[in-house]
Amino acid sequence: MQTILSIKPMLAVLTSLLAVPLILATGEDRPNLREFWSVLAGVVKFSIVISMAPVIFSGHTIEYTLISFYEGIDIKFRVDALGLLFATISSFLWIVTTFYSIGYMRSGKEHSQTRFYTCFAISLSATVGVAFSANLITLFIFYEILSLATVPLVGHKETPEAIEGARKYFLYLFSLSKTLLLSGIIIVYIVAGTTDFQSHGLLRHAQGSSLLFVAFFLFLFGFAKAGVMPVHNWLPSAMVAPTPVSALLHAVAVVKVGVFSILRVVFHIYGIDLMASLNLGITTAYIVSFTILVGSIIALSKDNLKARLAYSTISQLSYVILGAVLLTQYSMAGGIVHIANHAFSKITLFFCAGSLYTAAHKTEISQLSNIGKKMPWTMAAFFIASLSMIGVPPAAGFISKWFIALGSIEAKELPILMVLLGSTILNAAYFLPITYKAFFEKERVSSHSDHDLQDHHEEIKENPMVVVPLVLTAIISLIIGIFPVYFLDLAQEVLR
């Protein structure tokens, strides 16, 4: 494997940061130009990311060192298969979400739109920075930048509820990263003299010890963005954010940074052999299995659509970790691919929630009777994405769930297989009734007192600027279920 020195990873990180002054300069006075800069930065960023794919598929890596502070402590970028997979997803979906945001923010006449697009751009720089980090130090820096940049987005509405949600979000993520996560990084540095990611694990030759056993759980819970219970509470609270924020940051960027970082620790810090010798794999598998089941059960009890999607996300994120820690070839490939499958499917679901809000001002599932007749594109896309979350072929989620299930059989872990089957039933139980209600349940007959509401209900029309992106992501979630080669090949490169 050859290491190629290139500035491209740095340019991919910087692209959206360079758009920030342009977004601020155009401001509220020239919204078309402001949003043009956001779209342009997204296209350029995605182009740079995808241009590195041929090198990575050839089995090579790309590196670029920005600053060296001390031996083993530097800010350094490294593009490998796992980083490329995550950067491809996040940079592409930023473009889609920018178009969606234009329709959503304008139709709702949202305030502080310049601040919104500015924080979005910084967040995407931080996300790609995490994807292309060469060591835990660099990853930690961009992880913290992402937390800071997304606090204003969570509290965007500036209502008491939004401010409280942003406060909880900030306190959870910062307190855990400054205590647990930083402690784990220090332990790795003391043991290895560096925190650099290595193909088969930085610590693969280290002596197994109780210190390294404990350190792994500092990472598991310190990367609180992954939403592993009991450090998940910030995620439902953050759903007070505008839907574009929930869609990209809580279906792709923020939560995926959490599980991606844990995968980095599993594969490139500890390594499969050390994970197995310390029994960390199976111990973690049972911890995240609890999150998968309990998250699904709580989701089933929620009438608010975004709250149900939030708990679904908590549950689904743990599939990624579960696949990785089962430590079989099938399960690890399934966990890696589920990053992509979940991203496209869950962002579609959040887009649909936003479409329902902008067109019909509906936020509760109980309000959706017969809404599919008036919003067919939105609810059809919702149904497709639901099938992916459940794991029904040919939708994308089937591939990753199938691989994880095969991995649990390969690992001879029947209880884990039961967890997968049980969670699939729960997924169906909290998603399918929404589609049934939207298309087949008759609308409640209004009384005279809600006459105005009924009149508004009759005038519901889908917003094309909102609907086109959600239909696109729904179609892509089907395409990557039928043709999963790109992401499966990247997963195989990670495991090579």
Instruction: Report the number of secondary-structure helices (H) and strands (E) in the chain.
Output: 23, 3
457-486 pLDDT, tens digit per residue, is: 457 888 888 899 999 999 999 999 999 999
**Residue 251: its pLDDT value, please?**
76
256-303 pLDDT, tens digit per residue, is: 999 999 999 999 999 999 999 999 999 999 999 999 999 999 999 999
- Whether pLDDT at 255 is above 50: yes
Evaluate whether residue 197 is within a structural domain: no
Evaluate whether residue 204 is within a structural domain: no
β pairing state of 3-5 and 73-79: unpaired
Q: Reduce the DSSP state of residue 157 to 3 states and report it.
A: coil
- Token code pair at residue 312: 């679904």
- Whether pLDDT at 448 is above 70: no
**Residue 309: its pLDDT value, please?**
92
Q: What percentage of the chain exceeds 70 in pLDDT?
A: 97
Identity of the residue numbered 168: K
- When divided into structural domains, the chain yields a total of 1
Q: Kindly report the backbone phi and psi dihedral angles of residue 489, in degrees, each rounded to the nearest multiple of 5, phi listed first.
A: -65, -40
Number of residues that this document lists for the chain: 496
**Residue 454: its pLDDT value, please?**
44
Separation of first and last alpha carbons in the chain: 11
Evaluate whether residue 407 is within a structural domain: yes
Question: How far is CA 64 from each of CA 6, 27, 61, rounded to the nearest angstrom?
Answer: 6, 34, 10
Question: How far is CA 334 from each of CA 164, 323, 338, rounded to the nearest angstrom?
Answer: 37, 6, 6
Phi/psi class of residue 380: alpha, beta or left (left: φ > 0; alpha: ψ in -120 to 50)? alpha
Give the confidence band of 85 by pLDDT, cuts at 50, 70, 90: very high
Give the confidence band of 449 by pLDDT, cuts at 50, 70, 90: very low
- 196 and 268 Cβ atoms separated by less than 8 Å: no
Evaluate whether residue 410 is within a structural domain: yes
**Residue 165: its pLDDT value, please?**
82
- 78 and 49 Cβ atoms separated by less than 8 Å: no
190-228 pLDDT, tens digit per residue, is: 999 999 999 889 998 888 789 999 999 999 999 989 989
Evaluate whether residue 479 is within a structural domain: yes
Residue by residue, DSSP assigns 176-242 as HIIIIIHHHHHHHHHHHS--B--TT-TTTTSPP-HHHHHHHHHHHHHSGGG--TTS-THHHHGGGS-
Helix (H) or strand (E) holding 487: helix 485-495
Q: What is the DSSP letter of 445?
A: P
Evaluate whether residue 335 is within a structural domain: yes
Give the confidence band of 161 by pLDDT, cuts at 50, 70, 90: confident
Give the confidence band of 352 by pLDDT, cuts at 50, 70, 90: very high
- Whether pLDDT at 110 is above 80: no
- Whether pLDDT at 111 is above 80: no
3-30 pLDDT, tens digit per residue, is: 899 999 999 999 999 999 999 998 777 8
Evaluate whether residue 25 is within a structural domain: no
What does the angle CA 329 – CA 85 – CA 479 come to, to the nearest 5 degrees? Answer: 90
- 234 and 314 Cβ atoms separated by less than 8 Å: no
Identify the domain containing residue 302 by its residue range: 279-496
- 20 and 126 Cβ atoms separated by less than 8 Å: no
- Whether pLDDT at 132 is above 90: yes
- 192 and 203 Cβ atoms separated by less than 8 Å: yes
- Token code pair at residue 197: 């990611």
- Which residues are paired to 364 by β-bridges? 304
Q: Is the peptide bond before 394 cis (omega within 30 degrees of 0)?
A: yes
The reply to whether the predicted model has a pTM over 0.85 is: yes
Give the confidence band of 445 by pLDDT, cuts at 50, 70, 90: low
* R_g over Cα of the chain: 22
Residue by residue, DSSP assigns 223-276 as SGGG--TTS-THHHHGGGS-HHHHHHIIIIIHHHHHHHHHHHIIIIIIHHHHHH
354-393 pLDDT, tens digit per residue, is: 899 888 888 899 999 999 999 999 999 999 999 999 999 9
Give the confidence band of 248 by pLDDT, cuts at 50, 70, 90: confident
- 42 and 91 Cβ atoms separated by less than 8 Å: yes
Give the confidence band of 446 by pLDDT, cuts at 50, 70, 90: low
- Of 166, 123, 157, 171, nearest to 23 by C-alpha is 123
CA distance linking residue 127 with residue 93, whole number of Å: 12
Evaluate whether residue 150 is within a structural domain: no
